[in-house]
Structure 1
Amino acid sequence: MTADRGLRFLVVESESPKAREERRNSVGTSSGETFIDTLTGLSPGCHCDRIELAGERRGTAEDADLASYDGVFLAGSPIHVYDETEDVRRQLGFMRAIFASGTPSFGSCAGVQLAAAAAGGRVRAIPKKREVGFARRIFRTGAGTDHPLLAGRPPVYDAPSVHSDEVESLPDGSILLASNATSRVQAVEIRHAGGIFWGVQYHPELTLQEVAKALERAQDGLIQDGFAADEAALRQYAGKIEALARNPGRLDLAWQLGLDQEVTDPARRTVELRNFIDRLVRPTCSARGRA
């Protein structure tokens, strides 16, 4: 692992102040702070800034000076991109500014939805039950077989995932890289207005502990939707995930949860983030004469 003392990253949060506080009370970090923790682990010595797009302290594209960064990361959030609100319009405008800056960008969950909608695609609520805990049996498309974003992933894999919205249709200039039975768009490349975005519907940045806590925060809705019979059943399931987080070598828990090393091994769970840095950010820096 090399020290990335020259790389400058911007992490963008779209979650509301209330959602941010609930998440901090649960796991100790906001969505953007989790991203920063993961990025500094992958690229020791990199410099990370964080900007909030919702709330009284919300930032603007002008504040961010997007072209000065080597990579931009869009974190997940409960935002509904299809809502016709000023907040959503402002965040879509920020994403369009990222594209126009030419700085490579990456997004997970709501991040991929923002990128798709900003470039002309459509986002909707999942017409069937949401995807919670883990996205199962994600498969690489023909285009995804050799795409650098998914380098190192097997043909079929699972990943941490919590979402109730999905990309319904991709904008022009997109390459669909991975799908599963729940959501057609699980990984994608989008080119728009001179910019390039790589993104996934799942969460390579999340730890297993954060997955467990996300389930606990959503327990009422999950019980209502039939994912668990009652609170005790949901807490038992989340408890197994937390126990596996503490001891990834617990084969019994991995077996009970139906997980393999694509999820339990942090190096494999975060492969898309590493690929984005190594295969898009660094070459772009070289082309710009920054490295």
Structure 2
Amino acid sequence: MIRPYEEKIPPLVPFHGVLMTGSSHSVTTPEPWMDEAATYMLDAARTRPVLGVCFGHQLLARALGGRVERNPWGREAGTVEVQLTEAGAQDALFAGAPTTFPVQETHEDHVPGLPQGAMLLARNDSAPVQAYGVGESIRCVQFHPEMDAARSRLVNELRRDLLDAKTPGGARAVLASIRATPISERVLTNWVERFVGASPP
């Protein structure tokens, strides 16, 4: 794991794929390291698969010419449903997934519209761009495929005051929503097996 806000990003050579995770930082409050990290991800995408998750999804959207904003709906947190588009249902990232499935979320920023050249893969009423892809190498998701129900519950228990202030229904509703998300977790496996595993060394 590399923390680009506090350490130098290493050369790309040793990696078969690059994943940028969520962050407590916000793309709506730009910092110098964000441009460096975005450039690194786009350079990586020329020769290997890249997955952006939450903050990574937003940072890559901005780097590709899209917009990132505070979500007027408020903070999306807990377990929510997302819907695949026709393109999403055919994409290898969502192989084996039904059209609608639950995911773990925790974000205030969102991507209100697709970057130029991107294809919409998943959406819901709270965030119109839940997943997108660009070409064969870039895939991005607003939700957290690396997070299971236990982790989601732990994270959200620690944020009760924030949830009460910024989510419809507050912390009680968020915590009550949390349930298993096996399809969402499969998304990460699909990326490793079908994108990273299929890329040349």
Tell me the TM-score normalized by structure 1.
0.63
Q: Which has the higher contact order (CA 8 A, sep 6+)?
A: 2
* Per-residue CA distance 1:152-198 (angstroms, 9 max, x = gap): 1111111011110111222222111110000111111124xxx7211
> Contact 2:79–2:178 at 8 Å: present in 1 too?
no
Q: Structure 1 residues 89, 162: CA separation in 2 closer, same or farther (over 3 Å shift)?
A: same
Mapped contact 2:75–2:107 kept (Cα < 8 A): yes
Equivalent residue for 2:4? 53
The question of 1:186 aligning with 2:99 is answered no
How many corresponding residue pairs?
Answer: 201
Percent of pairs with identical residues: 28
Would the alpha carbon gap of residues 258 and 223 (structure 1) be closer, same or farther in structure 2, given more than 3 Å must change? closer
Instruction: Specify every segment of 5 or more residues in structure 2 that has no aligned partner in the other structure, as ranges.
Output: none
CA distance in 2, matches of 1:161, 1:80: 15
Q: Which amino acid aligns with 1:80?
A: S
| Cross-structure match for 2:95 | 151
Runs of 4+ in structure 1 deviating by more than 4 angstroms, as ranges, are: 226-229
Please say if 1:120 is aligned against 2:73.
no
Larger Rg: 1
Matches within 5 A, 1:226-241: 227=168, 234=172, 238=175
**Aligned equivalents of 2:178, 2:67: Cα separation in 1:** 32
Decide which of 142, 153, 167 is 1:212's aligned counterpart.
Answer: 153
In structure 2, distance between residues paired with 1:270 and 1:187: 14
Query: For 1:144, what is the secondary structure of its paired residue?
Result: helix
Residues 85, 271 of structure 1: CA spacing in aligned structure 2 closer, same or farther, 3 A cutoff?
same
SS of the aligned residue for 2:111 comes to strand
How far is the alpha carbon of 1:258 from its aligned partner? 7.4
Native 8 Å contact 1:149 1:276 kept in 2: yes
Does residue 130 of structure 1 match 2:38? no
Which residue, out of 254, 278, 282, partners 2:193?
Answer: 278
Task: State the TM-score, normalized to the length of structure 2.
Answer: 0.88
Alpha carbons 2:120, 2:131 under 8 Å: kept: yes
